[in-house]
């Protein structure tokens, strides 16, 4: 099965990280990504720019409306994702728990819908 | 065979038969429907022919054939799902005379699936009662005091999640087993505590839930022998439940431990519980929380009367519990035990300190314990206020009546 692992963390907290913390986080992510590439679980993954760069689009009555910022104000913001292949939810949860941000933020694990 | 005898077999075998059918057909809903078909077939055949020698294997075999029928009908109807069907037919055509060992593994798989940590605790309890214990949706709904429709919806969503989120139908690997087993035991204990002292409603106890919890713990103790935490939990529940007949008057009023007629306690259940406590405490490693709680219950069970109870040792065991699994509720119980050793004033100090630290905010038994201590200290006005606070905090009618009796007693003296 495929699962999308959505990485949420508090942007404000993240912005306060000093250079050495940032360096450690980057190294942890590199090691983690390498490990799931090697285990064959990795399908895709990216980090996202801050929510300040977001634009939200809606179409109502055929008219496009754009708003500045993310679609909802929340305590933690979506900051990246991995798409992984896993045997079952337990394996996916195990992978999610190893994402470095899991220690400070939250990882939402969502199964990918399959059409038959 | 009478319908009542057949019902009893269904009740005893439902969980095991269902767990094996789920493995064979690979789908919760299909397995449940197939088992219902098998029950219907049994109700037709068994009254005249008698039950087969191995009813469980019979139900599984018939259920499996019914599942195949259902899938065939579905193909004829929709002409798709070839792949899944092929797999199912292949599986289902394998010879199946499962040994008891095979059944046991299936039940464990089912228990661990229902108690998966990706479900809310409430959902874990509901799923376990429905599938492992074989309660009807209406019975589970009653346990949660919700409508049958609402419970059916909740169970439906949970079963969907099993399928769509890929929750595995297996016993966790060794690394994950410890934490997952404690999750399972927590679910069993939740079922028990709701049966032992309901959170709301007319009745203090719901013995059917307490019995289900004990049945589950016995089952899991048999399936995973030699684990102290399981034996400890089973002992704890047996010892608490042994007092059932003494805890309530015929009119449904609460009888507190200090006033219980100890000859009403179930001696056979106490002996079994005492043996299990000793086994659990002898297991290597640190003492487990359930085993220590059971040891406290054992001291009550052994005591000839309330006053001749080894309160000093009970207070000591609560201190052990505070070290291994500290919680405000244990601190409250510890204070209550201390009141029997060093007097109510000392206990009141402990509770004041606990409250000052902000523990127990909103815990509904706190005002009741405080009220009892104040009453014993002869501080009537404060005690009355605390009993009124306790009355407002509970939704259980027998508790409200108990507090009203206490206030009336104080006013009379």
Those residues whose C-beta lies under 8 Å from the C-beta of residue B201, and which sit 6 or more positions away, are: B145, B395, B396, B397
The number of distinct structural domains making up chain B is 4
Answer yes or no: is A116 within a domain: no
Q: Domain check: are B129 and B164 in the same one?
A: yes
Average pLDDT of each block of 10 consecutive residues along chain B (413 residues)? 85 88 89 93 91 92 92 71 55 50 77 94 91 85 86 94 92 84 91 79 76 90 90 97 92 90 96 96 87 96 95 96 90 94 95 83 83 94 94 89 92 82
How open is the CA angle B110-B115-B117, to the nearest 5 degrees? Answer: 135
Q: Domain check: are B289 and B214 in the same one?
A: no
* C-alpha distance across the termini of chain B, in Å: 61
Residues A100/A7, Cβ–Cβ less than 8 Å: no
Q: Which of B103, B217, B110 is nearest to B167 (CA)?
A: B110
Looking at residue B293, what is its pLDDT? 96
How open is the CA angle B361-B365-B371, to the nearest 5 degrees? Answer: 105
Looking at residue B82, what is its pLDDT? 55
Looking at residue B84, what is its pLDDT? 55
B163 lies within 8 A of chain A by CB: no
3-state secondary structure B116-175: CCCCCHHHHHHHHHHHHCCCCHHHHHHHHCCCHHHHHHHHHHHHHHHHHCCCCCCCCCHH
CB–CB of A88 and B168 under 8 A? yes
CB–CB of A111 and B116 under 8 A? no
How open is the CA angle B317-B320-B326, to the nearest 5 degrees? Answer: 120
Closest residue on chain A to B80 (Cα): A116
Higher pLDDT, B203 or A78: A78
The number of distinct structural domains making up chain A is 1
Q: Which of residues 50-89 of A touch B (CB under 8 A)?
A: 86-89
Q: Domain check: are B368 and B407 in the same one?
A: yes
Give the number of other CB atoms < 10 A from CB of residue B272.
Answer: 17
Answer yes or no: is B260 within a domain: no
A18 lies within 8 A of chain B by CB: no
Query: 């449904």: which residue's tokens?
Result: B252
Q: Domain check: are B122 and B183 in the same one?
A: yes
Q: Which of residues 84-143 of B touch A (CB under 8 A)?
A: 116, 118
For chain A, what percent of residues have pLDDT higher than 90? Answer: 91
Residue A58 has pLDDT above 90, yes or no: yes
CB–CB of B81 and A88 under 8 A? no
CATH number of the domain that residue A90 is part of: 3.30.70.1060
A1 lies within 8 A of chain B by CB: yes
Closest residue on chain B to A94 (Cα): B176
Q: What range defines the domain where residue A92 resides?
A: 2-111
pTM: 0.81
Q: What is the ipTM score, two decimals?
A: 0.87
B180 lies within 8 A of chain A by CB: no
CB–CB of A111 and B166 under 8 A? yes
Q: What range defines the domain where residue B134 resides?
A: 101-168+177-223
3-state secondary structure B176-209: HHHHHHHHHHHHHHHHHHHHHCCCEECCCCCHHH
Q: Domain check: are B153 and B79 in the same one?
A: no
Length of chain A: 116
CB–CB of A89 and B81 under 8 A? no
Looking at residue B98, what is its pLDDT? 45
Distance (Å, rounded) from C-alpha A79 to C-alpha A68?
17
Last residue of a domain, one of B204, B223, B242: B223
CB–CB of B80 and A90 under 8 A? no
Q: Provide, as residue numbers in chain B, all residues whose Cβ is less than 8 Å from the Cβ of A93.
A: 118
Closest residue on chain A to B171 (Cα): A90
Q: Domain check: are B71 and B43 in the same one?
A: yes
The two beta strands, A77-85 and A2-9, are antiparallel
Q: How far does Cα B93 stand from its chain's mean position?
A: 37
Of A1, A87, A89, the CB nearest to B118: A89
Of A90, A111, A113, the CB nearest to B168: A90
Helix (H) or strand (E) holding B52: none
Give the number of other CB atoms < 10 A from CB of residue B81.
Answer: 14
């Amino acid at each position: 099965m495929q699962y999308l692992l959505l990485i949420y963390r508090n942007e404000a907290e993240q912005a306060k990280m000093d250079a050495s913390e940032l360096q450690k986080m980057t190294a942890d992510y590199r090691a983690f990504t390498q490990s799931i590439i090697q285990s064959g679980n990795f399908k895709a993954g990216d980090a996202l720019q801050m929510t300040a760069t977001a634009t939200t689009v809606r179409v109502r009555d055929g008219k496009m409306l754009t708003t500045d910022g993310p679609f909802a104000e929340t305590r933690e913001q979506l900051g990246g994702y991995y798409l992984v292949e896993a045997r079952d939810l337990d394996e996916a949860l195990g992978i999610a728990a190893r994402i470095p941000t899991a220690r400070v933020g939250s990882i939402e694990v969502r199964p990918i819908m399959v059409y038959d | 065979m009478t319908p009542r005898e057949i019902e009893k077999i269904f009740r005893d075998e439902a969980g095991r038969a269902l767990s094996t059918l789920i493995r064979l057909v690979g789908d919760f809903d299909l397995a449940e429907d197939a088992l219902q078909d098998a029950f219907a077939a049994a109700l037709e055949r068994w009254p005249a022919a008698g039950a087969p020698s191995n009813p469980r294997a019979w139900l599984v075999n018939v259920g499996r054939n019914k599942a195949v029928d259902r899938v065939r009908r579905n193909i004829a109807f929709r002409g798709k799902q070839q792949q899944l069907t092929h797999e199912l037919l292949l599986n289902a055509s394998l010879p199946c005379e499962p040994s008891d060992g095979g059944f046991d593994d299936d039940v464990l798989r089912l228990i661990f699936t229902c108690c998966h940590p990706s479900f809310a605790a409430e959902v874990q309890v509901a799923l376990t009662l429905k599938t492992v214990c074989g309660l009807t949706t209406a019975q589970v709904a009653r346990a949660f005091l919700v409508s049958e429709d609402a419970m059916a919806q909740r169970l439906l969503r949970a079963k969907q999640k099993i399928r769509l989120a890929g929750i595995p139908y297996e016993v966790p690997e060794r690394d994950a087993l410890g934490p997952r087993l404690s999750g399972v035991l927590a679910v069993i204990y939740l079922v028990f505590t709701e049966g032992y002292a309901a959170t709301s409603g007319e009745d203090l106890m719901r013995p059917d839930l307490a019995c289900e919890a004990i049945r589950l713990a016995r089952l899991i103790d048999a399936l995973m022998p030699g684990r102290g935490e399981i034996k400890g939990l089973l002992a704890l529940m047996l010892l608490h439940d042994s007092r059932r007949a003494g805890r309530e008057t015929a009119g449904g009023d609460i009888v507190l431990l200090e006033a219980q007629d100890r000859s009403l306690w179930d001696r056979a259940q106490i002996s079994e519980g005492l043996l299990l406590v000793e086994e659990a405490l002898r297991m290597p490693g640190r003492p487990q929380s359930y085993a220590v709680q059971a040891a406290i219950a054992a001291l009550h069970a052994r005591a000839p009367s309330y006053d001749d109870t080894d309160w000093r040792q009970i207070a000591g065991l609560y201190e052990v519990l505070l070290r291994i699994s500290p919680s405000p509720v244990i601190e409250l119980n510890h204070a209550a035990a201390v009141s029997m050793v060093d007097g109510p004033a000392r206990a009141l100090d402990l509770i004041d300190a606990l409250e000052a630290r902000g523990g127990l905010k909103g815990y509904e038994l706190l005002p009741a314990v405080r009220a009892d201590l104040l009453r014993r200290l002869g501080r009537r006005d404060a005690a009355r206020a605390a009993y009124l606070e306790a009355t407002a905090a509970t939704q259980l009618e027998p508790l409200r009546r108990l507090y009203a009796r206490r206030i009336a007693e104080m006013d009379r003296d």
